[in-house]
Amino acid sequence: MIQILENVDLQRYNTMAVPSVARFFCRATSVSELREALAWSQTQHTAQYVLGGGSNTLLDAEVNGLVIRPEISGWEVVGEDKDVVYVCAGAGVVWHTFVMECIENGYFGLENLALIPGHVGAAPIQNIGAYGVELKDVFHTLQAVNCESGELIELSKLQCEFGYRDSVFKGRYKNKQVITSVTFSLSKAPRVSVQYPALIEELAKSNVLTPTPRQVAEAVIRVRRRKLPAPETIPNAGSFFKNPVVCEDFALRLKAEYPQMPQYDAANKRKKLAAGWLIEQCGWKGRKAFGVKVHDKQALVITNPNRVDVGNILELAASIAADVKLKFDVSLEREPKLLSE
């Protein structure tokens, strides 16, 4: 039986270390406990919020409802064929730990996604991606509980409607389904993806010409540690803005005016711009404002060293976005979402 706690401090449950208090809070270590928590919120006529690793979430000072923390643990092989192994992981499994354990067991495909903070259950919502690989590339199915009925459903890759840092859980299923487990389609053969420039450069430094999956993961970890602060020492939510995607004609005009601007091919003959570069050109890298700071090694990261309120963070983000819009006529979209959203 679940334990409903009252007036719980959530600061340690979000990597931005925003001070926040939940009116009600509980942990769900199984599907049955999750159903129980959802039913409790319905009988009490209170709002419900799901908070996983808290690495891509901004919390309000007060959360007036039930905050549910899915802590369904463990992973197992649920099937395989000649080339592929299907690995199912609980929503509460720490993402990076899972990635490294898969590599250790000879299940490949997750290497480029090493050291991304958070839990497995949040990965499909964001369609997490890094260094040329996205979650959808290794995704097979997931299971989720319907918030109203408690029904356990299974969704395929197509049904998840994955896009750039996007999925059906940010749209039609937002606040309607809670992910309980994710099954991945991983390769038995050590196939690696090293097309991303920063990764190629890092491997070249070590004179690695034909990297193993473990060497790719280790290179990713080194790059991330150099560029991104560890949340446990400098509170942050990772990349604070999405890389904007613009039409090809507009991208060409920008390139003519700013020849050094990084641009990457995107779907439907569009171009992806580097949000960090745009922010840096506006002079925000390493700057402090509203008690918050833009990281001095990566302008895409907003840090919260003083552990201030979320309002301060949003003010800084709005100022950055306004400057980028003024200089480049490009709109930045915030990546971490408010729990209340």
Active site residues: 165, 239, 335
3-state SS, residue 45: coil
Phi, psi of 210 (to 5 degrees): -125, 80
In whole angstroms, what is the distance from residue 132 CA to residue 26 CA? 37
How does 68-85 read in b/e, with b if 16+ C-beta sit within 10 Å? Answer: bbbbbeebeeeeeeeebb
Residue 181 CA, distance from chain mean position: 16
SS3 199: helix
168: CB partners within 8 A, 6+ apart: 155, 159, 160, 161
The DSSP bridge pattern shows strands 177-187 and 84-90 to be: antiparallel
Compute the distance between CA of residue 307 and CA of residue 313 in angstroms, rounded to an integer. Answer: 10
- Helix, strand, or coil here: 44? coil
Task: Judge whether 180 and 151 are in contact, CB under 8 Å.
Answer: no
CA distances from 10 to 18, 105, 111, 192, 261 (A): 8, 35, 31, 38, 40
